[in-house]
Amino acid sequence: MVAHEYYVTITQIDYNEQSQSLEISIKFFTDDLEYAMAQSKDGQKLFLGTEKEAPEADQSIFAYVQGRFQLDVDGTKVTLEWLGKEVELNETWIYLEVKNVASIEQLEISNELLTETFETQTNIIHVNVMGQKKSMLLRGIRTKDVLDFSPVAPK
């Protein structure tokens, strides 16, 4: 088992009004991600960022994320698209996108990343929609929450 004092992912979601898309980046501790993937049904070792990196690493990580991270925009489940990953020293960043998002009033986020592996896993999510910045903290049995970005009615 990986030995840290804490287990955390940080997700940044930005709404790009011009391209009508959600731009998503998720930061993992590389060893935590590799450990969770090795514990999965495939038991796959990824060796991220090394010469021995598994050729199917991106595909495996994306499949894992799709099964444990979902977004609903205004009550409709949206499709995540894989853009890529970067491995830096102890961190792995993955990049996703959701296209064809004309507007957002409510964003429901379900984030169970690494919760099956680490009992004290915390997933922090920061969201920026049309200048409104909101955050949520998901951990334990609370792996889902909703953020409201409805326009404020004038007084």
Q: What is the pLDDT along the chain (155 residues), one digit of tens a residue?
A: 556 678 999 999 999 999 999 999 999 999 999 999 998 767 778 999 999 999 999 999 999 999 999 999 999 999 999 999 999 989 999 999 999 999 999 999 999 999 999 999 999 999 999 999 999 999 989 999 999 998 764 55
Residue type at 92?
T
Handedness of CA 21, 27, 31, 33 (dihedral sign): negative
CA 15 to chain centre: 15
Burial class (CB in 10 A: 0-12, 13-18, 19+), 57: buried
Model confidence, pTM: 0.93
Q: Is 147 helix (H, G, I), strand (E, B) or coil?
A: strand
